[in-house]
Amino acid sequence: MNIKSLAALALLCVGLSACGSSVARPDVVTALADPNQKLAVVDVTCTAGSATKIDPVTLDRIKTGILNELEHAKPVSLMANANPDARPISLKVNLTSYEEGNAAARLMLMGLGQMHIDSDIEIVDASGNTIGAYKIAKQFALGGVVGATTSIKDVESGFESSVVELVRDPSKTASSPRDKPKKKLKPL
């Protein structure tokens, strides 16, 4: 292989590995009464469901990642101390599934050894009432070199970004009207 081919292959691998850190749209369980209202986070808690195998260090890493993403969100921080005019909320993140997958299996064939993080997210107001509930699922199943070189931390990064996007704009969900076809398709 010449240098140009190797460089192109390297760029392709880097580009495809970014899929692990891409944003996933949440599914609505209970929508906010006003999904266009500005929200500002006071606190984040991360827990694991009873059937989820995740250690406390990983839970803390995900919580810290979410807080860091919220603090450094563009164009402005989504933390309450930076947004006094926004509605203060707390986020309760309950991981219902956390699978690190298997890099060797992903190397062999796409779909094998996939990684995924599933969670239930509750948005809680200052009085302790749950005002919104969502589900976020983030997965990665590409194969080959890209699959073998992408780690669960890349998927965690995408999950953290997905939580931040939920806070930034709760109206952008998987069940959003803009995701539905505008016309009904007629069978051939």
Average pLDDT over residues 58-72: 96
Alpha helices in the chain (DSSP H): 3-17, 56-71, 103-108, 144-149, 152-168
**C-alpha span between 108 and 86 (Å, rounded):** 48
Q: Is the pLDDT of residue 11 over 50?
A: no
Structure tokens at 125: 């107001």
More confident position, 162 or 105:
162
List, as one string, the DSSP characters of 3-50: HHHHHHHHHHHHHHHGGGGS--PPEEEE--SSTTS-EEEEEEEEEE-T
pLDDT at 186: 54
Q: Is the pLDDT of residue 149 over 80?
A: no
Q: Is the pLDDT of residue 9 over 60?
A: no
| Nearest partner of 125 among 87, 167, 82, judged by Cα | 87
Average pLDDT over residues 55-59: 94
pLDDT at 20: 54
Residue 81 is classified by DSSP as: G
pLDDT at 14: 43
- The share of the chain scoring above pLDDT 90, in percent, equals 46
Question: Of 104-108, 165-169, 173-177, which range is least confident?
Answer: 173-177
Which string of b and e fits 154-188 if b means at least 16 CB within 10 Å? Answer: bbbbbbbbbbbbbbbebeebeeeeeeeeeeeeeee
Long-range contacts, stretch 177-184, CB < 8 angstroms, 24+ apart? 179/25
More confident position, 144 or 177:
144
Question: Of 11-15, 63-67, 88-92, 146-150, which range is least confident?
Answer: 11-15
| Nearest partner of 38 among 77, 93, 85, 92, judged by Cα | 85
pLDDT at 93: 97
Please state, rounded to an integer, the average pLDDT across all residues of the chain: 82
Q: Which residues pair with 135 in a beta bridge?
A: 27, 120
Average pLDDT over residues 56-76: 94
Beta pairing, strands 27-30 & 130-140: antiparallel
Q: Is the pLDDT of residue 127 over 70?
A: yes
